[in-house]
Amino acid sequence: MGLWNAIIGASAKLQDGSKKALALFEQMEKEGVSPDQITYLSVLPCCGKVAGITRGKEIHSQIIRQGIPIGEFLSAALIDMYGKTGELADARAVFDQMKLNSSGHCGVSTWNALIGAYGDHRLTEEALALFEEMVSTGNPPDEVTICAVLSACSHGGRVDTALQLLQSVEAKYGISPNTFHHNCVIDALGRAGRLEEAERYMLANQSAIDHVSWMTLLGASRIHKVRNGYPFWPSFKVILIQIRRMSNGENAQRDSHAVSFHYTNRHPLGCSCRTYMQELDSGRTSAKSGKRWNGKESRRYQE
Protein backbone atom coordinates (compact mmCIF):
# COMPACT_ATOMS: atom_id res chain seq x y z
CA MET A 1 0.00 0.00 0.00
CA GLY A 2 2.75 2.43 0.91
CA LEU A 3 4.48 1.94 -2.46
CA TRP A 4 1.24 2.49 -4.39
CA ASN A 5 0.52 5.66 -2.43
CA ALA A 6 4.03 6.95 -3.07
CA ILE A 7 3.82 6.36 -6.84
CA ILE A 8 0.30 7.77 -7.16
CA GLY A 9 1.15 10.78 -5.00
CA ALA A 10 4.31 11.52 -6.98
CA SER A 11 2.44 11.26 -10.29
CA ALA A 12 -0.35 13.52 -9.07
CA LYS A 13 2.15 16.27 -8.26
CA LEU A 14 3.56 16.32 -11.79
CA GLN A 15 2.33 19.08 -14.09
CA ASP A 16 0.59 16.64 -16.43
CA GLY A 17 0.44 13.69 -14.07
CA SER A 18 -3.26 13.64 -13.16
CA LYS A 19 -4.26 11.11 -15.83
CA LYS A 20 -1.35 8.86 -14.95
CA ALA A 21 -2.22 9.04 -11.25
CA LEU A 22 -5.82 8.01 -11.94
CA ALA A 23 -4.64 5.20 -14.23
CA LEU A 24 -2.37 3.93 -11.45
CA PHE A 25 -5.30 4.16 -9.02
CA GLU A 26 -7.41 1.96 -11.29
CA GLN A 27 -4.52 -0.50 -11.73
CA MET A 28 -4.11 -0.71 -7.97
CA GLU A 29 -7.78 -1.60 -7.55
CA LYS A 30 -7.60 -4.22 -10.30
CA GLU A 31 -4.77 -5.88 -8.43
CA GLY A 32 -6.97 -6.13 -5.33
CA VAL A 33 -5.29 -3.43 -3.25
CA SER A 34 -7.79 -1.33 -1.29
CA PRO A 35 -7.10 2.41 -1.28
CA ASP A 36 -6.87 4.28 2.00
CA GLN A 37 -7.26 7.91 3.02
CA ILE A 38 -3.81 8.84 1.72
CA THR A 39 -4.65 7.37 -1.68
CA TYR A 40 -7.86 9.37 -1.90
CA LEU A 41 -6.11 12.58 -0.87
CA SER A 42 -3.88 12.11 -3.92
CA VAL A 43 -6.51 11.15 -6.52
CA LEU A 44 -9.34 13.55 -5.63
CA PRO A 45 -7.46 16.65 -6.88
CA CYS A 46 -6.81 14.75 -10.13
CA CYS A 47 -10.55 14.32 -10.62
CA GLY A 48 -11.00 18.06 -10.34
CA LYS A 49 -8.37 18.61 -13.03
CA VAL A 50 -9.05 15.98 -15.68
CA ALA A 51 -11.58 13.28 -14.82
CA GLY A 52 -14.70 15.36 -14.24
CA ILE A 53 -17.57 15.10 -11.84
CA THR A 54 -18.62 11.53 -12.65
CA ARG A 55 -15.33 9.99 -11.57
CA GLY A 56 -15.18 12.28 -8.57
CA LYS A 57 -18.62 11.20 -7.35
CA GLU A 58 -17.69 7.55 -7.85
CA ILE A 59 -14.65 7.99 -5.62
CA HIS A 60 -16.74 9.87 -3.03
CA SER A 61 -19.21 6.97 -2.94
CA GLN A 62 -16.35 4.52 -2.66
CA ILE A 63 -14.98 6.36 0.36
CA ILE A 64 -18.38 6.11 2.06
CA ARG A 65 -18.74 2.41 1.23
CA GLN A 66 -15.33 1.64 2.69
CA GLY A 67 -16.30 3.44 5.88
CA ILE A 68 -13.28 5.72 5.78
CA PRO A 69 -13.81 8.66 8.19
CA ILE A 70 -14.13 11.96 6.34
CA GLY A 71 -12.07 14.28 8.48
CA GLU A 72 -10.69 17.74 7.89
CA PHE A 73 -8.30 16.98 5.04
CA LEU A 74 -10.47 14.50 3.19
CA SER A 75 -13.48 16.81 3.38
CA ALA A 76 -11.32 19.66 2.08
CA ALA A 77 -10.20 17.47 -0.84
CA LEU A 78 -13.81 16.57 -1.65
CA ILE A 79 -14.92 20.22 -1.48
CA ASP A 80 -12.02 21.25 -3.70
CA MET A 81 -12.87 18.53 -6.22
CA TYR A 82 -16.55 19.53 -6.34
CA GLY A 83 -15.58 23.18 -6.58
CA LYS A 84 -13.26 22.61 -9.52
CA THR A 85 -15.95 20.68 -11.38
CA GLY A 86 -18.55 23.39 -10.74
CA GLU A 87 -20.71 21.37 -8.36
CA LEU A 88 -20.93 23.95 -5.60
CA ALA A 89 -24.11 22.48 -4.11
CA ASP A 90 -22.27 19.20 -3.53
CA ALA A 91 -19.29 21.08 -2.13
CA ARG A 92 -21.56 22.86 0.32
CA ALA A 93 -23.23 19.56 1.26
CA VAL A 94 -19.84 18.06 2.19
CA PHE A 95 -19.04 21.16 4.23
CA ASP A 96 -22.38 21.14 6.06
CA GLN A 97 -22.04 17.45 6.88
CA MET A 98 -18.53 18.01 8.18
CA LYS A 99 -19.74 20.94 10.29
CA LEU A 100 -22.57 18.83 11.66
CA ASN A 101 -20.23 15.97 12.56
CA SER A 102 -17.79 18.30 14.30
CA SER A 103 -20.39 20.37 16.18
CA GLY A 104 -19.68 23.46 14.07
CA HIS A 105 -15.92 23.41 14.53
CA CYS A 106 -14.58 22.29 11.16
CA GLY A 107 -10.87 22.27 10.58
CA VAL A 108 -9.43 25.35 8.92
CA SER A 109 -8.69 23.39 5.71
CA THR A 110 -12.40 22.65 5.28
CA TRP A 111 -13.34 26.32 5.63
CA ASN A 112 -10.56 27.33 3.27
CA ALA A 113 -11.64 24.87 0.59
CA LEU A 114 -15.21 26.20 0.41
CA ILE A 115 -14.17 29.86 0.61
CA GLY A 116 -11.74 29.18 -2.24
CA ALA A 117 -14.40 27.40 -4.29
CA TYR A 118 -16.80 30.33 -3.92
CA GLY A 119 -14.06 32.76 -4.86
CA ASP A 120 -13.05 30.79 -7.95
CA HIS A 121 -16.65 30.98 -9.19
CA ARG A 122 -16.88 34.73 -8.47
CA LEU A 123 -19.36 34.21 -5.64
CA THR A 124 -17.66 36.89 -3.60
CA GLU A 125 -20.54 37.63 -1.26
CA GLU A 126 -20.88 33.96 -0.38
CA ALA A 127 -17.13 33.72 0.27
CA LEU A 128 -17.18 36.80 2.52
CA ALA A 129 -20.26 35.57 4.39
CA LEU A 130 -18.59 32.21 5.00
CA PHE A 131 -15.45 33.95 6.25
CA GLU A 132 -17.52 36.00 8.69
CA GLU A 133 -19.25 32.82 9.87
CA MET A 134 -15.88 31.14 10.33
CA VAL A 135 -14.55 33.93 12.51
CA SER A 136 -17.77 34.45 14.48
CA THR A 137 -17.99 30.76 15.40
CA GLY A 138 -14.52 30.73 16.93
CA ASN A 139 -12.61 29.18 14.04
CA PRO A 140 -9.42 31.24 13.61
CA PRO A 141 -8.29 31.81 10.01
CA ASP A 142 -4.78 31.12 8.77
CA GLU A 143 -2.66 32.55 5.96
CA VAL A 144 -4.43 30.39 3.36
CA THR A 145 -7.83 31.67 4.52
CA ILE A 146 -6.76 35.29 4.06
CA CYS A 147 -5.37 34.49 0.62
CA ALA A 148 -8.65 32.83 -0.40
CA VAL A 149 -10.72 35.78 0.85
CA LEU A 150 -8.47 38.33 -0.88
CA SER A 151 -8.68 36.34 -4.11
CA ALA A 152 -12.48 36.28 -3.85
CA CYS A 153 -12.46 40.06 -3.36
CA SER A 154 -10.28 40.42 -6.44
CA HIS A 155 -12.59 38.34 -8.62
CA GLY A 156 -15.66 40.17 -7.33
CA GLY A 157 -14.35 43.73 -7.57
CA ARG A 158 -14.34 44.26 -3.80
CA VAL A 159 -11.05 46.15 -3.82
CA ASP A 160 -11.67 48.29 -0.75
CA THR A 161 -12.72 45.23 1.23
CA ALA A 162 -9.45 43.54 0.27
CA LEU A 163 -7.42 46.58 1.32
CA GLN A 164 -9.25 46.86 4.64
CA LEU A 165 -8.75 43.17 5.37
CA LEU A 166 -5.03 43.30 4.65
CA GLN A 167 -4.58 46.39 6.81
CA SER A 168 -6.29 44.75 9.79
CA VAL A 169 -5.24 41.12 9.41
CA GLU A 170 -2.22 41.32 11.69
CA ALA A 171 -4.01 43.16 14.49
CA LYS A 172 -7.14 40.99 14.32
CA TYR A 173 -5.75 37.55 13.58
CA GLY A 174 -2.01 37.78 14.26
CA ILE A 175 -1.18 37.01 10.63
CA SER A 176 1.63 38.94 8.94
CA PRO A 177 0.81 39.63 5.27
CA ASN A 178 3.05 37.65 2.92
CA THR A 179 3.86 37.85 -0.78
CA PHE A 180 0.75 35.89 -1.78
CA HIS A 181 -1.47 38.34 0.10
CA HIS A 182 0.20 41.34 -1.49
CA ASN A 183 -0.15 39.80 -4.95
CA CYS A 184 -3.88 39.30 -4.38
CA VAL A 185 -4.25 43.00 -3.54
CA ILE A 186 -2.21 44.01 -6.59
CA ASP A 187 -4.43 41.76 -8.69
CA ALA A 188 -7.57 43.31 -7.19
CA LEU A 189 -6.36 46.85 -7.90
CA GLY A 190 -5.31 45.88 -11.40
CA ARG A 191 -8.59 44.19 -12.27
CA ALA A 192 -10.44 47.31 -11.12
CA GLY A 193 -8.30 49.52 -13.33
CA ARG A 194 -6.69 51.29 -10.38
CA LEU A 195 -3.26 50.95 -11.96
CA GLU A 196 -1.54 53.93 -10.39
CA GLU A 197 -2.64 52.72 -6.97
CA ALA A 198 -1.45 49.20 -7.79
CA GLU A 199 1.95 50.54 -8.74
CA ARG A 200 2.21 52.70 -5.64
CA TYR A 201 1.24 49.71 -3.55
CA MET A 202 3.99 47.63 -5.14
CA LEU A 203 6.63 50.28 -4.63
CA ALA A 204 5.57 50.70 -0.99
CA ASN A 205 5.97 46.96 -0.39
CA GLN A 206 9.05 46.17 -2.45
CA SER A 207 10.52 43.87 0.18
CA ALA A 208 7.46 41.61 -0.02
CA ILE A 209 6.87 41.38 -3.77
CA ASP A 210 8.23 38.95 -6.35
CA HIS A 211 8.20 38.42 -10.12
CA VAL A 212 4.54 37.38 -9.93
CA SER A 213 3.73 40.86 -8.61
CA TRP A 214 5.36 42.41 -11.66
CA MET A 215 3.61 40.05 -14.07
CA THR A 216 0.28 40.74 -12.37
CA LEU A 217 0.72 44.48 -12.86
CA LEU A 218 1.84 43.94 -16.43
CA GLY A 219 -1.22 41.81 -17.22
CA ALA A 220 -3.61 44.33 -15.70
CA SER A 221 -1.91 47.16 -17.54
CA ARG A 222 -2.21 45.41 -20.88
CA ILE A 223 -5.91 44.80 -20.28
CA HIS A 224 -6.55 48.45 -19.53
CA LYS A 225 -4.41 49.47 -22.53
CA VAL A 226 -3.36 53.12 -22.63
CA ARG A 227 -3.56 55.95 -20.15
CA ASN A 228 -2.84 59.60 -21.00
CA GLY A 229 -1.46 58.66 -24.40
CA TYR A 230 1.31 56.41 -23.09
CA PRO A 231 1.32 52.66 -22.51
CA PHE A 232 1.07 52.26 -18.75
CA TRP A 233 2.77 48.90 -18.51
CA PRO A 234 6.53 48.60 -18.05
CA SER A 235 8.45 47.07 -20.93
CA PHE A 236 8.99 43.33 -20.89
CA LYS A 237 12.68 44.02 -20.38
CA VAL A 238 11.92 45.71 -17.08
CA ILE A 239 9.94 42.66 -15.99
CA LEU A 240 12.79 40.37 -17.01
CA ILE A 241 15.23 42.56 -15.11
CA GLN A 242 13.13 42.16 -11.97
CA ILE A 243 12.92 38.41 -12.39
CA ARG A 244 16.67 38.17 -12.97
CA ARG A 245 17.37 40.40 -9.95
CA MET A 246 15.13 38.28 -7.74
CA SER A 247 16.98 35.19 -8.97
CA ASN A 248 20.34 36.70 -7.96
CA GLY A 249 21.41 37.02 -11.58
CA GLU A 250 24.85 38.08 -12.75
CA ASN A 251 23.89 41.75 -13.15
CA ALA A 252 21.53 41.91 -10.18
CA GLN A 253 22.93 45.06 -8.58
CA ARG A 254 23.18 46.97 -11.84
CA ASP A 255 19.66 45.97 -12.87
CA SER A 256 18.29 46.95 -9.46
CA HIS A 257 19.72 50.47 -9.84
CA ALA A 258 18.37 50.71 -13.39
CA VAL A 259 14.83 49.77 -12.46
CA SER A 260 14.93 51.97 -9.36
CA PHE A 261 16.01 54.94 -11.49
CA HIS A 262 13.35 54.20 -14.08
CA TYR A 263 10.54 53.98 -11.56
CA THR A 264 11.52 57.00 -9.50
CA ASN A 265 12.37 59.39 -12.36
CA ARG A 266 10.11 58.55 -15.28
CA HIS A 267 7.50 61.00 -16.48
CA PRO A 268 4.73 60.65 -17.47
CA LEU A 269 3.79 57.54 -15.54
CA GLY A 270 4.27 54.43 -17.61
CA CYS A 271 7.07 55.51 -19.93
CA SER A 272 9.56 52.79 -20.75
CA CYS A 273 13.23 52.55 -19.85
CA ARG A 274 14.08 50.58 -23.00
CA THR A 275 16.33 53.30 -24.46
CA TYR A 276 17.85 53.90 -21.04
CA MET A 277 18.66 50.20 -20.71
CA GLN A 278 20.18 50.11 -24.18
CA GLU A 279 22.51 52.98 -23.26
CA LEU A 280 23.20 51.30 -19.94
CA ASP A 281 24.23 48.13 -21.74
CA SER A 282 26.51 50.10 -24.06
CA GLY A 283 28.20 51.85 -21.13
CA ARG A 284 27.04 55.36 -22.02
CA THR A 285 24.83 55.77 -18.94
CA SER A 286 25.40 55.34 -15.21
CA ALA A 287 22.93 52.89 -13.67
CA LYS A 288 23.20 54.46 -10.24
CA SER A 289 22.86 58.12 -11.19
CA GLY A 290 21.02 57.91 -14.47
CA LYS A 291 23.48 60.41 -16.02
CA ARG A 292 25.48 60.06 -19.19
CA TRP A 293 29.17 59.56 -18.69
CA ASN A 294 29.88 62.90 -20.42
CA GLY A 295 28.18 64.69 -17.50
CA LYS A 296 24.98 65.72 -19.25
CA GLU A 297 21.79 65.06 -17.42
CA SER A 298 19.99 62.00 -18.66
CA ARG A 299 16.69 62.66 -20.33
CA ARG A 300 13.61 60.76 -19.23
CA TYR A 301 12.96 58.06 -21.73
CA GLN A 302 9.74 57.20 -23.48
CA GLU A 303 8.73 54.56 -25.98
> 252-265 and 274-282 helices cross at what angle (nearest 10)?
140
Rounded to two decimals, what is the model's pTM? Answer: 0.75
pLDDT tens-digit readout, 262-278: 444 443 333 333 443 34
> 236-246 and 211-223 helices cross at what angle (nearest 10)?
170
pLDDT tens-digit readout, 148-157: 999 999 999 9
* In the chain, where the domains are located: 232-303
pLDDT reported for residue 254: 47
Q: Mean of the pLDDT values across residues 291-296?
A: 36
Q: Mean of the pLDDT values across residues 174-194?
A: 93
Q: Give CA–CA dist 141/264, Å, rounded.
A: 38
